[in-house]
Amino acid sequence: MTESTLNQTFAALADPTRRAMLARLSRGEANVSELAQPFLHSMSLPAITKHVKVLERAGLITKSKDAQWRPCKLRGAGLRVAADWVEQYRMFWEESFDRLDAYLKETAGKKSTKDKADGLTK
């Protein structure tokens, strides 16, 4: 994975319109007109086409040609770039949460022992 690929992927994912398009494609292929449908009240078809091109360049979707039909499909391998990058930080967060959990248990244990010593428990 190159830095450029990662940058393109996250730049594509940064836009809510493109994320919505990916969510739609996760349910199956769709042509550009179908992808544009929810956004036509707020943007033009050329703007939609630009979003599709960004997703294509980032490798998140593929667009093929079948006569007049131009089906777009989600490309899982493109999303793998982002998932792999995020995954490297998962271990850090899990370890941090484990340390926090241990600290909270230790703190709760000390409080419980102090309360018993002070006669505050039922």
Helix 3-13 and helix 45-57, axial crossing angle in degrees, nearest 10 = 150
Q: Which residues, listed in sequence order, are joined to residue 73 by a DSSP beta bridge?
A: 62
3-state DSSP: the chain helix, strand, coil percent, rounded to 5?
70, 10, 20
The conformational region for residue 26 under phi > 0 = left, psi -120 to 50 = alpha, else beta, is: alpha
Helices (H), 1-122: 3-13, 16-25, 32-36, 45-57, 76-117
What's 1-117's CATH class? Answer: mainly alpha
Tell the residue number behind the tokens 């959990």, with chain if given.
101
Q: How far is CA 21 from the centre of its chain?
A: 13
- Digit-coded pLDDT (tens) for 63-105: 988 777 789 999 988 899 889 888 888 888 888 888 888 889 8
- Digit-coded pLDDT (tens) for 2-55: 788 899 999 999 999 999 999 999 999 999 999 999 999 999 999 999 999 999
Break the chain into its structural domains and give their ranges.
Answer: 1-117
How much is the pLDDT for 16?
97
Please tell me the pTM assigned to this model: 0.72
